[in-house]
Amino acid sequence: MERRLGITAWLALAGAMLLPVVAGCAAVPPPLAIATSSTSATEAGSPAATPAASAPASAGDAPILRPDLGASDNLAYFDHVNVGVIASDASAGGRAFIDALVAAGFEESQMEVTADRTTVDLPADSVQFAVLFQGECLIGQYGPASGGYHSAVRPVLGTAGCLVGETRPIDW
């Protein structure tokens, strides 16, 4: 009986120690903590999604790249390009966003993008992409787990980049 009690106590202790670990694994972090500002297309791939916070002065004018201005002043253009990618391909991946941003005049050498697939070869829940622009970061995120498209302007990280974690080479 004493031996059984000792094993039971040990198992209870082990279970109590594992509970925070298991609970931590079950917690799902928000899609991208920085993706809370300007633009949100609630339906992934919604062609009607357009940037609202930084709309151009004239309703009919499309935003343009203003390399002489800061990232915040170019967020509407960044969004315009990315929403266009989504409108043409609702399942767009990182390469489509990077290619469109390069074609729109952003500097490829200043860009970062996350992988489209996980390490176990499943589709990523979302893809993040960023442009280092005038000392700040234009950051976009798109995918089913992020609720569509989101963007933000954020400071450059201490690593001199814009995205946290591993990014993939832009070598195509």
The DSSP secondary-structure symbol of 41 reads E
* Residue that has been written with the tokens 């990077």 in this structure: 98
Residue 61: per-residue pLDDT: 84
> With bands split at pLDDT 50, 70 and 90, how would you rate the model's confidence at 6?
low
Task: Tell whether pTM > 0.75.
Answer: no
User: What is the helix (H) or strand (E) element at residue 13, kind and residue range?
Assistant: helix 2-26
Q: How far apart are CA 83 and CA 2, in angstroms?
A: 68
Q: Residue 44 pLDDT more than 70?
A: no
Mean pLDDT of 21-28: 35
> With bands split at pLDDT 50, 70 and 90, how would you rate the model's confidence at 116?
very high
Query: Cβ contacts of residue 53 below 8 Å, gap of 6+?
Result: 37, 38, 39, 75, 76
E strands of 44-169, at which residues?
A: 111-113, 127-133, 136-143, 148-155
Tokens of residue 72, six digits:
């915040």
Mean pLDDT of 116-133: 95
- Interhelix angle 94-103/71-88, rounded to 10 degrees, is 120
Residue 144: per-residue pLDDT: 87
Q: pLDDT tens-digit profile of 86-112?
A: 999 999 999 999 999 999 999 999 999
Our measurement of the distance from residue 29's CA atom to the centroid of its chain's CA atoms, rounded to an integer in Å, reads 13
Residue 171: per-residue pLDDT: 92
> With bands split at pLDDT 50, 70 and 90, how would you rate the model's confidence at 59?
low
Residue 129: per-residue pLDDT: 98
- Among 101, 100, 103, smallest CA distance to 132 is for 101
Mean pLDDT of 141-148: 93
> With bands split at pLDDT 50, 70 and 90, how would you rate the model's confidence at 58?
low
Question: Are 162 and 137 spatial neighbours (Cβ–Cβ below 8 Å)?
Answer: yes
* Residue that has been written with the tokens 């279970």 in this structure: 15
Number of Cβ within 10 Å of residue 65's Cβ equals 16
